[in-house]
Each structure stands twice: as structure tokens, then as C-alpha cells.
Copies of this chain bind each other. A is one copy, B any other.
Amino acid sequence: MAAADDRNKHEPEVAGAPLAIVCGGGTLPFTVADAAKQQGRRVVLMALRGAADAGRVALYPHHWVRVGQFGRCTRLAKAEGCRDLVLIGSVVRPTLAQLWPDWGMIRNIPRLLKLLAGGDHHVLSAITRAFENQGFRLLGAHEIAPEILMPKGPMGHHRPGAGEQSDIARGLALLKAMGPFDVGQAVVVANRRVLAVEAAEGTDQMLLRLAELREKGRIRSPRGVGVLVKAPKPGQDVRVDLPSIGPQTVEQTARAGLAGIAAAAGATIVAEAQQLAAMADRAKLFVVGVDDQADAE
């Protein structure tokens, strides 16, 4: 439909067009890359230094970029003929000193600084819009690889009991109530008592704190009681900001002495699902995909 010289403008891409994957840590970027390849697409990894797994990156067409090199990243992706772009994988939130901004980044700084004043939500919106302003179409990793989404029901052999169902409902209701405030995506509830609410510290740190409080005798509920509940904030951009769990979440949940994990089905990314399920079975934890849209309690 569009003339060839229009390819750098905004028309929708045909299936099979090359896909740029901005690639952070963990195995998820490669799951997405493999899914795209199976769909007949060429993939190019924009591998983030200090985050992406170099050994696995080497197996795909790739370029290395630093977190701040927005200009280099978009230039290379365009040169590779990519219009569709996915951001996936873990990135430890960089300090300003680590950012080493390039020119493409610097031009965006006034807007970024303004938006940094808001929540995570706004930062990710800013990044998303910066890519879109460069003519890219941002896709959610799960649009390429739906298999990375949390399924409904239990993963592994264990299931929540009635008390845990009640804790899950309370957790989901609390996350919903906090929705307008762009806080975290996770809470811990045990015997209907809210033990922890995630904000800037992240899920892993929150679970670590519970393990420490338990060691000090500050948690009254016994070991094996309580649920980590994760769900996306209402209105967040599911293309770039879904909550995620992985084997390390199971490990931390076990250390915190909880009974299991409940995550929004179809709206949580699961890293290394098989390993996660096996670890949950060994630790006697349940991991369950729940409907976070149902009226919780």
C-alpha cells in the first residue's frame, strides 16, 4: 500500500518483517526471539551491556548498546530495517552516572526529567513515546510469545487452600485500591493481615525484608502461611510494564516462609516456567494464576 520510500514513516508492518528486541537480563529475551523466528521473522537483538547474557546474545544477530544510548539503539534498529520493537528482560534501574547519555537521549532529557518526577508508570510511558516518536511500533513481548504469560490455575502440584484463597482476594483488592497511586505491583497477605506492600524497593527486596522480620520474631503467622500477590496496576501499559515472576521469586517466597504465589493470569510474565514449577514443587509452594479482574472481596 505504501511506496517504498515511505518505509520510515508510520504505516503498519506486515507479518514477517524484522523485529528489534531491546534485550535485558534473563532468559525471556531469547524466548521472545525464538518465538519471532518461528513466526518467520528476522530478529535483531539490541543487547544492553551489563544486563544481557553475552553467551546467548552471540547466537543471534545483535548489537551491543548501553542503557543511555537511545540514539544508537534507534539508528541501528532502523539500519536493520526494523520497525517493530520489543523491550524485554531485567534491567537494574540505572543511576544517572551509569546512563552515559548519547545525543538521542540528550534531546529527550527535558521531557524525561519532567516525567521522572512521576512514577515508574510515567518513565516507561516516556520511553515508549520516545521510541514511537522515532517511528517505531512498540509491541509487548507477550504479543510475540504468548507462552510467557501466566496461565490460569496452578503451575506445579500445589494449590491454595480456602484460607489462602481469602488472602489472595484481599491482596488483589488492596492492589486495586492502591491502583490510582502508581505504587508497586505486589503485596503479601497472611491470615488476612497485610505483611508487606511493595513500592520503590521491588518484589525481591520486599520478600527479603519479610524473611528478616520473621527471623526477628516480628511475623506472627507461622511458616507456610501467607501469599505473595502480584497484579498489574490498573491502566499501565501492558506492552512494557507487566509484573513478572521467575525461579528467584519462588526462592525468595520460600525464604520468606509463605505458602505460595498468586499472579494475575494473562497479565504476568513468567520467566523459566518449567524451572519455576519444579522449584515450587520442591519447596512445597503453590504458584497460581488468578483472575485479577474478578471482584476480589
Contact = CB atoms under 8 A, between A and B. Distances in A.
Contacts of A161: none
B174 A178 contact: yes
Interface residues of A, number: 39
B209 A201 contact: yes
A194 interface: yes
Contact of A181 (B119, B170, B221): B170
Interface string A67-100: 0000000000000000000000000010101000
Given A178-B178, A220-B116, A194 B201 contact: no
A205 B205 CA distance: 13
Contacts of A170: 181
Interface stretch (A15-23, A128-136, A144-152, A211-219): A211-219
A198 B209 CA distance: 12
Contacts of A197: 178, 183-184, 197-199
Among all A-B residue pairs, the 7 with the closest Cβ atoms: A95-B217, A197-B197, A117-B191, A195-B200, A183-B194, A174-B181, A119-B193
Given A177-B178, A177-B181, A197-B199, 4 more contacts: A117-B191, A174-B181, A174-B183, A177-B180
Interface of A: 93, 95, 97, 116-120, 170, 173-174, 177-178, 180-184, 188, 191-201, 205, 209-210, 213, 217-221
